[in-house]
Amino acid sequence: MGPRLMKQFGFTNPHQVPRLAKIVLNVGVGEAPKAPKLMDAVVDELGAITGQRPVVTRAKKSIANFNLRQGMAIGAAVTLRGARMWEFLDRFINVTVPRFRDFRGLSTRSFDGRGSYTIGIKEQMVFPEIDYDKVEKIHGMDITFVTTAGRDDVAMALLRELGMPFRGETPVAVG
């Protein structure tokens, strides 16, 4: 993978080749102040998906229109690095993505300009770790793949090499 990216982008040093730095999963729970049990369910589900205990995210400011007070739990997030990151990436590409409804490939427009790629998932049921009978409420999540690439084209080439099935192309065999 490294030599191909070096040749493709003209890198002279192997340390210039981008790598996957971390994967961040974030779930926003808007109904959390009204339903405290829902927050516990989201934390448990995110823990089951990632194999790591999520951090509960709290409101930075009070917003009267949303009945929100500073410090209230409003979501959960997990940052995966190292072995857990690679294990999650493998399961995500090979098991979870094929379970998306009407899947024709991931959009290539979700890069942020600095080499990170974010996917929004509408429901957590696509993950095999989630038991359908135990789900309290269907919710979505954001998954961000953070790379060390400074540009989107380099990050896209890296994710393509890692096996990410982007729209309009056949997946690259990893191995």
Instruction: Among 49-53, 155-159, 170-174, name the one with the lowest average pLDDT.
Output: 170-174
Instruction: Please report the sign of the dihedral spanned by the C-alpha atoms of residue 133, residue 135, residue 136, residue 139.
Output: negative
pLDDT digits (tens, 9 = 90+) for 27-84: 988 776 677 788 888 888 888 888 899 998 888 888 787 777 888 878 899 999 999 9
**What pLDDT sits at residue 14?**
87
Task: Determine the Cα–Cα distance for residues 38 and 55; give it in Å rounded to an integer.
Answer: 15
What structural domains does the chain harbor? 17-161 (3.30.1440.10)
Contact between 57 and 94 under an 8 Å Cβ cutoff? The reply is no
What's the CA dihedral at 132, 136, 140, 142 to 10 degrees? -100
In the chain, what's the furthest Cα-to-Cα distance?
A: 56
Which DSSP helix (H) or strand (E) runs through 82?
helix 82-91
Mean pLDDT (whole number) for 103-117: 85
